[in-house]
Amino acid sequence: MRIRLAVIAVLLLGLSACARAPMPAAPPMVAVPQILDPDSVCLQDLATLGVDFQPMASFGDSEQGCGISNAVKVSGAGVPWNRAGVLTCAMARTLVRYQTEVVQPVAQSRFGQPVKRLHHAGTYDCRVRRNNSTKVAASLGGSRGGRLSEHSKGQAIDVTAFELADGTMVSVKKDWRGGADKAAFLHDVARASCSTFNVVLTPNHDRFHQDHLHLDIGPHTLCGY
Ligand SMILES: [Zn+2]
């Protein structure tokens, strides 16, 4: 009997010891930061906005300092383009806003019809400032040194003309200095572009921009209207 009581006492002590045994420490609660990939968010935006685009692998030329880490090949943003262009996703997204908030309202106001196609002479291009993408710029010899253009980072486009729904062409080269609705449209668009882009260069700015509107979202600010 004494032995049985001793066994029971030992068992109770054991159970008591088990009850008091420290629980294994729970892993500390670590707040995992939610990583939002700006590229994927932007690409999703392009898809939502109906941009005609293809994602591209990042590319660059470290020696020249050119390249794009989140490139897209765009065939139309808001409206089809005369040809595809390579840009950063952010620039493509800005161009949709430009088309819907700047170009189309001005076209409706001036012509009572929308623009159906945007014509441009260049997007990504590994070159220095004062481009030679257009005939006017090339005839002037293009660039001579200087810092890299925003074209070299896919942050710029050279718009040459707007094609209206009825097929009418409104050309920067032919119509900027005219006196009719076409000139008024181009000037309205150029002026309004300064609220969408960081740099806007027009035929008013210098001789290198007689046939196109240079629009970019680079770090500098200049409304060359
Ligand atoms: Zn340009």
* Distance of alpha carbon 19 from alpha carbon 22, whole angstroms: 8
* Distance of alpha carbon 184 from alpha carbon 177, whole angstroms: 9
Domain ranges of the chain: 77-83+93-224
Amino acid identity, position 195:
S
Query: How many Å lie between the centroid of ligand 1 and the Cα of residue 214?
Result: 4
Is the pTM higher than 0.85? The answer reads no
Query: How many Å lie between the centroid of ligand 1 and the Cα of residue 75?
Result: 18
Query: How many Å lie between the centroid of ligand 1 and the Cα of residue 181?
Result: 25
Task: Give me the residues paired with residue 119 across strands.
Answer: 161
pLDDT digit string (tens) for the chain, length 225 residues: 454 544 444 444 444 444 445 555 665 565 554 545 667 889 999 999 999 999 998 898 777 789 998 899 999 999 999 999 999 999 999 999 999 999 999 999 999 999 999 999 999 999 765 555 565 555 544 443 456 799 999 999 999 999 999 999 999 999 999 879 999 999 999 999 999 999 999 999 988 899 999 999 999 999 988
Query: How many Å lie between the centroid of ligand 1 and the Cα of residue 40?
Result: 27
Measure the CA angle with vertex 5, ends 4 and 9; round to 5°.
Answer: 120
* Distance of alpha carbon 21 from alpha carbon 36, whole angstroms: 43
Query: How many Å lie between the centroid of ligand 1 and the Cα of residue 201?
Result: 8
**CATH 3.30.1380: does it fit domain 77-83+93-224?**
yes
Query: How many Å lie between the centroid of ligand 1 and the Cα of residue 177?
Result: 20
Q: pLDDT value at position 50?
A: 92
Query: How many Å lie between the centroid of ligand 1 and the Cα of residue 158?
Result: 5
